[in-house]
Amino acid sequence: MNNELISKLCDLHDLSDEELGCLINERTPEDAKRLAAEASELRDRVYGKKVFMRGLIEFTSYCRNDCLYCGLRRSNHNAQRYRLTKEEILSCAENGYMLGFRTFVLQGGEDPYFTDDVLCDIVSSLKEIYPDCAVTLSVGERSLGSYKQLYYAGADRYLLRHETADADHYGILHPKELKLSHRMECLSDLKSIGYQTGCGFMVGSPYQSTESIVKDLRFIKSFSPEMVGIGPFIPHCDTPYRNQKAGTLEFTLFLLSIVRLMLPDVLLPATTALGTIAENGRELGIMAGANVVMPNLSPNDVRKKYSLYDNKLCSGDEAAENVNELRRRIESTGYKLVTDRGDHIRFSK
Ligand code: SAM
């Protein structure tokens, strides 16, 4: 058991690259148990027993990109494409507001239809109708000017997973026109503008190594984002990675705990992908240090069409309308699902 390394991580909120590699490669179930307990205790010190909820509106399944792992990739001709109108997005938000959501996450493929003007109009209308709510965008790589316009239109937060901080690995997972350097430039632009910014990566993505994960953790520590999205990679049958193995529950939980211990005040979702690979994945995520859940607020008839990976959850507790069941499940872990905006808190020892 890596007791010494874990104690050091708890004290310093960091380890050397070599130590992180060792913690990962030599991990045991006892390590995972202790890390989860330490991560939970730290999260409770910063945020209390609160789990924040975000209403996810998946507003377009069109994407100009061709990421090899993603079901929305442009060369997937079996994908069902849709885009929501402004009125449909506002109606999702109205429904979400009634259910108690105070953060709306607008996520989609990189769809050229949503120009700055179109997206700014949607963001500013949302903020006008719901001034007490936060708007998070997750619409991929755009220019600095575009990010600024969206920020001035009222967007508060932006999620842009870096996917992998290892340039060679990035080159394997993406077509050659997509570059890690540009993704990183976007992240730094978002942060400099003032967004609460989120990065993140998939656990168990094809060709991922311990070295690449250590690079992810090093990047996350130095970038110090307000949010980190980590979920298992899950293959999609209409992508080149259809036969690759999915990331595991065990490793995702282990990394959630490490990220919590490295960034005590991070907002860390127990993702849909985690809930997809295990029935109680989300609860286990909370118990490993996560403190955010993002149920789906998209209209029922499009949910199945936003197919990033096979068997993606979109009903049951994943559906925003079943928030009471989700609340019951979260409360069974000793936590409380809260309806406030859930902004980032700066941690000081
Ligand atoms: N287009 C935006 C972007 O690039 O950030 C947001 C949408 S993108 C589909 C959201 C996230 O889904 C990606 O950052 C990726 O990590 C995740 N994702 C895509 N395919 C996945 C898969 N097969 N398994 C797990 N997660 C996946």
Rounded to an integer, the average pLDDT of 329-343 is 93
CA-CA distance, 13 to 224, in Å (whole number)?
12
Enter the tokens of residue 12. 């310093």
Q: What is the mean pLDDT of the chain?
A: 96
Tell me what pLDDT residue 231 has: 97
Reported as a single tens digit per residue, the pLDDT across 24-57 is 999 999 999 999 999 999 999 999 999 999 999 9
230: in domain = yes
User: With contact defined as beta carbons under 8 Å apart, do 154 and 129 qualify?
Assistant: no
Beta bridge partners of 227: 198, 267
Residues ≥6 apart with Cβ < 8 Å to 220: 199, 228, 259, 262, 263
Distance 23 CA to ligand 1 centre (A): 27
25: in domain = yes
Enter the tokens of residue 203. 């656990």
Torsion of CA 201, 318, 62, 128, to 10 degrees: -100
Rounded to an integer, the average pLDDT of 277-292 is 96
Asked if the model's pLDDT at residue 275 lies above 80, the reply is yes
104 against 313, higher pLDDT: 104
Distance 138 CA to ligand 1 centre (A): 10
Q: Which residues line ligand 1 (CB under 6 A)?
A: 69-70, 72, 107, 109-110, 138-140, 160-161, 163, 202, 231, 233-234, 236, 273, 308-309
346: in domain = no
Rounded to an integer, the average pLDDT of 321-328 is 88
Distance 227 CA to ligand 1 centre (A): 15
Q: Which of 69, 70, 178 to mutate to test the pocket of ligand 1 (most atoms within 8 A of CB)?
A: 70
CA-CA distance, 336 to 333, in Å (whole number)?
9
Q: Which of 56, 64, 68, 69 to mutate to test the pocket of ligand 1 (most atoms within 8 A of CB)?
A: 69
Torsion of CA 193, 163, 104, 78, to 10 degrees: 130
Taking the complete model, does pTM exceed 0.85, yes or no? yes
Reported as a single tens digit per residue, the pLDDT across 180-205 is 999 999 999 999 999 999 999 999 99
CA-CA distance, 341 to 333, in Å (whole number)?
22
343: in domain = no
Tell me what pLDDT residue 346 has: 86
Asked if the model's pLDDT at residue 313 lies above 90, the reply is no
Count Cα atoms within 13 angstroms, Cβ side, for 345: 16
Distance 30 CA to ligand 1 centre (A): 31
What is the residue whose two structure tokens read 């402004």? 86
Structural domain that includes position 211: 3-338
348: in domain = no
CATH number (domain holding residue 82): 3.20.20.70
Strand intervals (E) in the chain: 50-53, 55-60, 103-108, 134-138, 157-159, 196-203, 227-232, 292-293, 336-338
105: in domain = yes
Distance 108 CA to ligand 1 centre (A): 9
Specify the residue with its C-alpha closest to ligand 1, atom 20: 70
Tell me what pLDDT residue 312 has: 85
Asked if the model's pLDDT at residue 93 lies above 90, the reply is yes
171: in domain = yes
Distance 70 CA to ligand 1 centre (A): 6
CA-CA distance, 245 to 197, in Å (whole number)?
30
Asked if the model's pLDDT at residue 349 lies above 70, the reply is no
Asked if the model's pLDDT at residue 292 lies above 70, the reply is yes
344: in domain = no
What is the tally of structural domains in the chain? 1
